[in-house]
Structure 1
Amino acid sequence: MRVIFMGTPEFSVPALRAIAARHEVVAVYSQPPRAAGRGQKPRPSAVHAAAEELGIEVRTPLRLRDPAEQAAFATLGADVAVVVAYGLILPQPVLDAPRLGCLNIHASLLPRWRGAAPIHRAVMAGDAETGVTIMRMEAGLDTGPVLVEARTPIGAEETTADLHDRLSVMGAGLIVDVLDRLPLPAVPQAEVGVTYAAKIDKAEARVDWSQPAIEVDRLIRGLSPFPGAWCEIAGERVKLLRSRVVAGQGAPGQVLGGFTVACGDGAVEVLEAQRSGKKPMATEELLRGWGLPARFG
């Protein structure tokens, strides 16, 4: 099958590799290289780099509204386009160009968590399970009919990073199966249970120890590794990257021993954290030679 692949971050790479192993990927579309690193030199996206490694043509338009870009897309003569966290809105002429349409790999069980940050929001909300949905794209935001889905539980100590990696691999396996069986019937999404996964705002990231332990724990795991939940410890901003709810009571922010901190209800044990300018460390390593104050602000 002739496939156009459209994606940008690391999450999309396993799907690209899986598709390229079985089908002809005629072109890859990705976001343009962005300035990164100390020298702020343009760096290609993860998908861009993987496509070049695979010897596939890469296109990086700033937008797809230009009729010339739409015509160039159509002339590829694709059977189907697969879209995974691409980052650009696809106008109707692009959606209509492939013979079998444009399929999207979305990291939630639609219609729950439509939008930009479905993995973060599922962890932060304390969802018991999530999954991957393959849908046929239409003009609305993640509103298209569903071809297939795969479900998975969210572990009690799982972070967004952990779940991201699992769902990425699940999505790759699922899209290969779908491509092998096209055309498939598509079922409209339910009209009830719709939620939106708004983009993560860094203002959400500061830990409020007066909140119940279950909420603090979900925040820490949900924002790990980016942007990272944080608190101030003796005037230093520290990212908290892994945690679990444990037994314990005290004034909010009180250190109960080790890196266990009292919350508004219950306590949270921080399992991994990152001091300013240092690498992430497990609590045992972090606390060597670094004493915590009796209470956090």
Structure 2
Amino acid sequence: MRIAFMGTPDFAVPALNALHEAGHEIVAVYSQPPRPAGRGKKLAPSPVQRVAEELGIEVRTPVSLKGETEQAAFAALDLDAAIVAAYGLILPQAILDAPKMGCLNIHGSLLPRWRGAAPVQRAILAGDTETGITIMQMEAGLDTGPMLLKAATPINGKTAGELTEELAIAGADLMVQYLASPSHYAAEAQDDALATYAKKIKKQEARLDFSGSAEQVERQIRAYNPQPGAFFEFENNRYKILEAQVSDAKGAPGKALDDHLLIGCGTGAIQPTIIQKAGKPAMDLKSFLNGTKIPIGTVLQ
């Protein structure tokens, strides 16, 4: 098929590679413009742009697709379909309507659950036991379009980073499967009554709330790993907990219960296993405690 690919982060890279390997004619890749990155804040292309350039595909990085000039340039591609994966820009109706098959989205949840920007993190935070990928026909609403193909995967204690990588590969495979024989799959309307919304993650959400149960705190830790990183503060320093185990020990929320940094929660406690001080590498708990002493009874915020 003659397609355009529209995506920006690492999540979208497996789909771009899979579509290229499947022999589709990718005439253009759309990605968000390069952003400042690193200590030098130099402009850096997105992961999708880097891969597309390596594959020799034309890359377009418009700031918006609302203008007539951009819309005309898109229509001139004469596409069979546009494949979208975490692109990050709103697609106006003129863009949605231009390809013969419209725009098809790889969404990281089992729609209609977790429509929106952060479906992986919200599924973990909610304690869902499974999530998955939905291939959907895009329309003007936020992830409201008809569903074309779905595949579920268990969450099983995975971090958001691990789950995102798994779903990215699953989504790539599912999209290639769909495009190989689209007439074999019937579109299914979403039940709006079952919809939940995965709002964008804000950095302040990542401050650990030890007043919740140990299970809830552990879910915070997994949902915000790798970004933005679930954290607490001690002596004006910020510490991210990247991995932790749940304990049935009892103690006041946020209180260091022993000299191994067992931390009390609303019910139960958590035991960090991987921790990271701001500006420092992540390390196992034993190595961390060799250099940082948090006295028993300290209440962490």
For Structure 1 versus Structure 2, the TM-score category normalised by the shorter chain is over 0.9
Query: Which portions of structure 1, spanning 4 or more consecutive aligned residues, are displaced by more than 3 angstroms?
Result: none
By how many angstroms is 1:62 displaced? Answer: 0.8
1:253-292 matches, within 5 Å, as 253-257=254-258, 258-292=260-294
Which stretch shifts more, 8-17 or 196-205? 196-205
CA shift digits 1:202-231 (9 cap, x unpaired): 221111222211111111111111111110
CA shift digits 1:165-220 (9 cap, x unpaired): 11111111111101111233211011222100011112211112222111111111
TM-score normalised by L of structure 2: 0.95
TM-score normalised by L of structure 1: 0.96
The answer to whether the 8 A contact 1:82-1:104 is kept is yes
Who is 2:34 aligned against?
33
SS in 1 for 2:290: coil
By how many angstroms is 1:24 displaced? Answer: 1.1
Who is 2:194 aligned against?
193
Structure 2 segments unaligned to the other structure (5+ residues): none
The answer to whether the 8 A contact 1:209-1:263 is kept is yes
CA shift digits 1:238-267 (9 cap, x unpaired): 011112212211122222342321111101
By how many angstroms is 1:233 displaced? Answer: 2.4
**One-letter amino acid of the counterpart of residue 6, structure 1:** M
1:77-116 matches, within 5 Å, as 77-116=78-117
Q: How many correspondences in the alignment? A: 296
Which stretch shifts more, 187-196 or 280-289? 280-289
Who is 2:76 aligned against?
75
By how many angstroms is 1:283 displaced? Answer: 1.8
Structure 1 segments unaligned to the other structure (5+ residues): none
Distance 2:179 2:27 in 1: 15
User: What root-mean-square deviation, in Å, do the aligned CA atoms of Structure 1 and Structure 2 show?
Assistant: 1.2
1:152-167 matches, within 5 Å, as 152-156=153-157, 158-167=158-167
Which stretch shifts more, 182-191 or 74-83? 182-191
The answer to whether the 8 A contact 1:132-1:167 is kept is yes
Distance 1:63 1:126 in 2: 36
**One-letter amino acid of the counterpart of residue 179, structure 1:** L
SS in 2 for 1:273: strand
Who is 2:118 aligned against?
117
CA shift digits 1:87-128 (9 cap, x unpaired): 111111111111111100000000000000001101111111
Who is 2:242 aligned against?
241
